[in-house]
Amino acid sequence: MTDEPYRWLEAIGQRREYVESRLHGGSPILAACLHQGLLLLGVGTGQSKVFEIFDRHAMAGIGHPADLERLRQSAIDAAHLEAFTRAPDDVSLRRLVSFGIAPTIKVAFEQLFSPPFLARTLFVELGATPTEDTLAHVDFDGTFAFQKGGCRILAEPGTDTGPAEAFLATHQRPEFTLPAAAQLLLSVWTHLTQGAALTTDATPPPRLAELIGSRTLEAGFLARSHRRAARYLALTPEQLGLAPSPTP
């Protein structure tokens, strides 16, 4: 197969369709760069979508849990080795993604007799200011793209994220508090998953349980001002000002 270019291309195409079909139904992830820090928000089953990688680094992903786990472990190994053999400040998202994660994913995707990564991931790095925060979108074929500051949506392939991205570009502000940002990201999540209208006028905002059902809100926050080197905090809905269930 591999010595016939057409069949190789055909096989790669089929592999792409297969991976995209397996990513179908993945719950979106949203990220926002704030003055307070960098917020990652998703809805999953608890410790399933948003993870700490290193002092100023985190990741979130949609896809097969085992593949997300492989990528998470690989990123953690690389970051800690780099920090120990050089220094924590030498751990950079650009090097982690460009020279470590993305090539590994690309090789797995293009080697037809090895399993591809069924995962679409977002890696983030906390900078000194919101505009210096780095967000890296890494796709299942190893394609990656960096972004400085702003917001980012990670959704299943084929999702039209255009309106939601435009909405976030208009309404999300770095000076937002954590609860305000979380509420906005959650409203975008409900738009992407349930087709709810994009609005900031929901007063009072809907209860969390009405939005996500029995699933778990997963929020990771890289705090910009923190006494310790490890900036990652796993936040609960209460810490985000999101009431978990309707009051009786």
What is the spatial distance between Cα 99 and Cα 87, in angstroms, rounded to a whole number?
A: 18
Q: Which stretch binds another protein (CB under 8 A): 32-40, 99-107, 197-205, 224-232?
A: 224-232
20-45 core/surface letters (b: 16 or more CB in 10 A; e: else):
eebbeebbbbbbbbbebbbbbbbbbe
Closest to another protein by CB, 167 vs 221, is: 221
Question: Binding another protein by CB under 8 A: which of 73, 129, 200, 245?
Answer: 73
Question: Binding another protein by CB under 8 A: which of 7, 13, 45, 81?
Answer: 81
Question: Binding another protein by CB under 8 A: which of 7, 89, 230, 238?
Answer: 230
Our finding on whether 83 is near another protein (CB under 8 A) is yes
**Tokens (6 digits) for 218:** 């997963």
- DSSP result, 52-101: EEETTEEEEEEE-HHHHHHHHHHHHHHHHHHHHHS-GGG--HHHIIIIII
Minimum distance from CB of 78 to another protein (Å)?
10
Closest to another protein by CB, 59 vs 135, is: 59
Closest to another protein by CB, 34 vs 53, is: 53
What is the spatial distance between Cα 208 and Cα 240, in angstroms, rounded to a whole number?
A: 11
Tell me which residues touch another protein (CB under 8 A).
47, 51-54, 73, 76-77, 80-81, 83-85, 227-228, 230
